[in-house]
Structure 1
């Protein structure tokens, strides 16, 4: 591009690349700068969850990501005596994808980078290191230095800094990075031609030296070992030391084809602020966490998903600038929960106390005796799910009508992720919900034509929100419902009764879903008009003519 973009992204890691793809799909002009001359190729994340896979689906790259994953990867938890004390094996598909997937991050990052070639309005510049950032009331300017030492400046409406835990932007803005760095370090060893070949992962809570090993795609095996305080980082390059660590894990360590080895620290930190004016922090620049729970990469992808639709709505004139205030409001609480989970799991599995390890083993034995509790652990029921109580959400009281019997444990959906079962379109094509119904704002109405419950003036505002009207019916009703539907209504069928059961468990029949799949509001059909008006306010929908980029 020969002119300044709408958004500047600093950092071509997974967060910056994902956000650039999300904005590219929404026709937002983006310049992405990266200090390195190429993508990072050393060992990092190895787990991608169902929420992040849904994002890969949203940006149209999931089919290219899948070959680099191990779906439904089971984790066995082992104590110091080699006994299995627990198992994590989630098999649900609530959001359309396996909850746990092993993956090779550099290969997935490459897919994300190549995906940007689809967009002439996304400019990627490697060898461009940010050295200064300034801003005014309506623009932010980034000065970057190229490999030849020259400096250039570009400005945009917003800047998203996603350049990692040592973020230059965060430091220049003098934003604190609160938390701790654990004394225990880890040594990562990646090996080609997997000498074990087993598909699962093992987390070894051995107080003498904690370890983990995972099977990765393409015949790669990873080991991670806790380093003792008196062991220097240089030991990572000592073959004798490395082979000694591996001697109890494989028959012949000296014959292994080691791809890479690297020492890393366990950080648990959150930035004091995620935003200063028109400059935002995302991913590791905003938060870092121990790797044990496998949520660092995934948390950054959630940041990108939250930011993508909001930035697009603002720069395209469909929403007021104040919408960006909801980014930190919504993301901070969930990030803090993920950091806490990761830190607690790290302390649980990598501690060097025999007493603490014994207490952990006793607790595991107790859990094993209670099937429901055991199933919750196995299904990752301990993982905090996104739930927004404030931001772009409209909480609704549970209706009190005799015709709607309500249990004490009625599920509330506002602020949570909407499920993604398989559905069928009017053309008979079956697929996951987002592929059939789209990825923008959607008003899902069970068994009713939504046009019967909204006024003409409200219908006219739906394009500003970017919303479509979707009627969900039992699949057997699909032809009839489609023939009778109002203008602009998409009718989809529920072939396996998944949505019928979902709505049956709730006192609402209308669900309004944001582009990041978070439920913004839920209501009865008769309340749709009033609820949409509240959603327009929460989403800061602009009522002026839409600007073009």
Structure 2
């Protein structure tokens, strides 16, 4: 039971309470903030964490930054086209991962400085009067009813506060109090070996990319980061402690493996980490949802912990916005776990596998790895498989907030591409700049509203849909033959024409998180839109208007 409020208890109200001001909580707050949803972000620390953590940012995450208008602000803290190279103990590169694909509009792999990216997200919140951040707030407990969640907080002076919210999102890390209070399982394993991370300013090597050296004596990682930072990671051997390794003489021995002069460095900090691979049994319980490390944690070897959290934020935020605004039923939130949990598990498995490649549990497995990798390097399809990072499981949703595809080869459930397009104003922009934070019905050549009734157009406009006609860019010079609500763009690169030409559909129904929710042709688009509305649990407009007025 929640403690009874005292006369001095401060009562606060919000639509969405987010516990944890890490990157996932900050990203969700930014997205909901731009949608006009009232958000209160609760953080137990007195400021953002300032020590370096994640160092890998992928194209999907950059697209999520773009969706909240912060891509340009974070780019100066990234290094695009960052290769990952696995080395044998003798220094031979047996796997060179440097994908050059940019189908989502950004570099596939980027190095970055997480505290600076988190700062960009935090400063982004200053744009919104409807978002509040409460630092130095300890969450004592919470309880949920059929219509709300009440959080019992204490501020830095020990004073009580009660925060009343319609929904609570736990973004409070691997040791999540929110998850533990819900008694949700967190199954998985803890790696037997810890790793010490050493960050150095004024990079003493200054070679680009990240190198993972599979040394059987002591595996290590050497990573070039933006702003002249070099990260080294060394496996902590049995019997070693953080206190012992941090002593100057022992730190010198570690760095002597990788630097000719280990004394001439500018140490930022060193820190020992334990690598875990764990997955929450549920991502949702009633009005409480889990995201980021509170829902899943994974080893760092593929740089997917941070990026998986960004995928959670991108998937959950637009759905919660629709529910809060009364445009969709609460049951839409069930699709969050439906869509995200299996992919999070796939990324955990990939990260564990990469860790075994770097540091095989048994010595003979390392010898076998080196021999097999040497042979496979001469098989072009296999070499391409690694080079283009095709082993990375891309998210594809087979059920949830979409029209379930009938064929395994269907692109439905995958992320839609983002090439540059030409606007009627003559600007070259990435496609998402035209879509904004909205749904999009994108048609090749035809009017995307031709097959829709006025009622259907009104329904999709209420959901904030952009109707987009894609044409060869030379056709933009002709007068428009589309309806008044249609935005025309030119396919300058030909990539959208190429995408539509792979299948038999000419209209793509795209969700706010840029995942393809359905396909159609002009004669079937009305039927497809009705099917998708059902999958989205979209409420009839009279009901939605009533709910929205109550929220306001």
Q: For this structure pair, what is the TM-score category when the shorter chain's length is used for normalisation? A: over 0.9
Q: Is contact 2:20–2:170 with CA below 8 Å preserved after alignment?
A: yes
Q: CA deviation at 1:545?
A: 3.5
Task: After superposition, give the CA deviation of every residue in 1:460-494 in whole Å (9 maximum; x if it has no partner).
Answer: 211233212111111111232x5221020111110
Q: CA deviation at 1:96?
A: 0.3
Which residue of 2 is the match for residue 445 of structure 1? 443
Which residue of 1 is the match for residue 238 of structure 2? 229
Task: After superposition, give the CA deviation of every residue in 1:408-442 in whole Å (9 maximum; x if it has no partner).
Answer: xx952110000000001111111100012323100
Within 5 Å, give how 1:333-352 maps onto structure 2.
Answer: 333-351=342-360
Which residue of 1 is the match for residue 141 of structure 2? 132
Q: Is contact 1:310–1:323 with CA below 8 Å preserved after alignment?
A: yes
SS in 2 for 1:340: helix
The 2-side partners of 1:236 and 1:301 are apart by 33
Which residue of 2 is the match for residue 407 of structure 1? none
Which residue of 1 is the match for residue 417 of structure 2? 419
Q: CA deviation at 1:143?
A: 1.0
Which residue of 1 is the match for residue 378 of structure 2? 369
The 1-side partners of 2:39 and 2:457 are apart by 31
Q: Is contact 2:170–2:288 with CA below 8 Å preserved after alignment?
A: yes
Is the aligned partner of 1:510 residue 2:507? yes
SS in 1 for 2:301: helix
| Alignment counterpart, residue 144 of structure 1, candidates 146, 153, 163 | 153
Q: CA deviation at 1:2?
A: 8.4
Which residue of 2 is the match for residue 487 of structure 1? 484
Which residue of 1 is the match for residue 338 of structure 2? 329
The 2-side partners of 1:235 and 1:216 are apart by 27
The 2-side partners of 1:2 and 1:241 are apart by 53
The 2-side partners of 1:538 and 1:116 are apart by 31
Task: After superposition, give the CA deviation of every residue in 1:315-357 in whole Å (9 maximum; x if it has no partner).
Answer: 1011011111111011001000000000111111122532111
Which residue of 2 is the match for residue 456 of structure 1? 454
The 1-side partners of 2:477 and 2:515 are apart by 29
Q: Is contact 2:12–2:162 with CA below 8 Å preserved after alignment?
A: no
Q: Is contact 2:11–2:164 with CA below 8 Å preserved after alignment?
A: no
The 2-side partners of 1:218 and 1:374 are apart by 32
SS in 2 for 1:500: helix
Is the aligned partner of 1:542 residue 2:551? no
RMSD over aligned Cα atoms: 1.4
Q: Is contact 2:197–2:234 with CA below 8 Å preserved after alignment?
A: yes
Q: Is contact 1:15–1:304 with CA below 8 Å preserved after alignment?
A: yes
Task: After superposition, give the CA deviation of every residue in 1:78-104 in whole Å (9 maximum; x if it has no partner).
Answer: 011221112011111110000000000
Which residue of 1 is the match for residue 471 of structure 2? 473
Give the stretch that moved more between structures: 7-16 or 246-255.
Answer: 246-255
The 2-side partners of 1:252 and 1:131 are apart by 50
Is the aligned partner of 1:55 residue 2:41? no
The 2-side partners of 1:46 and 1:380 are apart by 18
For normalisation by structure 1, the TM-score amounts to 0.96
SS in 2 for 1:356: helix
The 2-side partners of 1:178 and 1:283 are apart by 15
Q: Is contact 1:6–1:29 with CA below 8 Å preserved after alignment?
A: yes
The 2-side partners of 1:74 and 1:421 are apart by 22
Q: Is contact 1:236–1:263 with CA below 8 Å preserved after alignment?
A: no
| Alignment counterpart, residue 153 of structure 1, candidates 155, 159, 162 | 162
Task: After superposition, give the CA deviation of every residue in 1:20-50 in whole Å (9 maximum; x if it has no partner).
Answer: 0000010100000100001112231000000
Which residue of 1 is the match for residue 390 of structure 2? 381
Within 5 Å, give how 1:203-218 maps onto structure 2.
Answer: 203-218=212-227
Is the aligned partner of 1:319 residue 2:328? yes
The 1-side partners of 2:73 and 2:187 are apart by 37
SS in 2 for 1:360: helix
Unaligned runs of 5+ in 1: 399-409
Q: CA deviation at 1:507?
A: 1.5
Which residue of 2 is the match for residue 405 of structure 1? none
SS in 1 for 2:271: strand
Q: Is contact 2:213–2:358 with CA below 8 Å preserved after alignment?
A: yes
Task: After superposition, give the CA deviation of every residue in 1:94-128 in whole Å (9 maximum; x if it has no partner).
Answer: 10000000000001101110110000110001001
Which residue of 2 is the match for residue 531 of structure 1? 528
Which residue of 2 is the match for residue 522 of structure 1? 519
The 2-side partners of 1:326 and 1:248 are apart by 49
The 2-side partners of 1:362 and 1:491 are apart by 55
| Alignment counterpart, residue 246 of structure 1, candidates 255, 275, 278 | 255
Q: CA deviation at 1:259?
A: 0.2
| Alignment counterpart, residue 118 of structure 1, candidates 110, 113, 127 | 127
The 1-side partners of 2:461 and 2:232 are apart by 50
Is the aligned partner of 1:277 residue 2:286? yes
Number of aligned residue pairs: give it: 537
Which residue of 1 is the match for residue 7 of structure 2? none
Q: CA deviation at 1:17?
A: 0.3
The 2-side partners of 1:2 and 1:72 are apart by 49
Q: CA deviation at 1:499?
A: 0.7
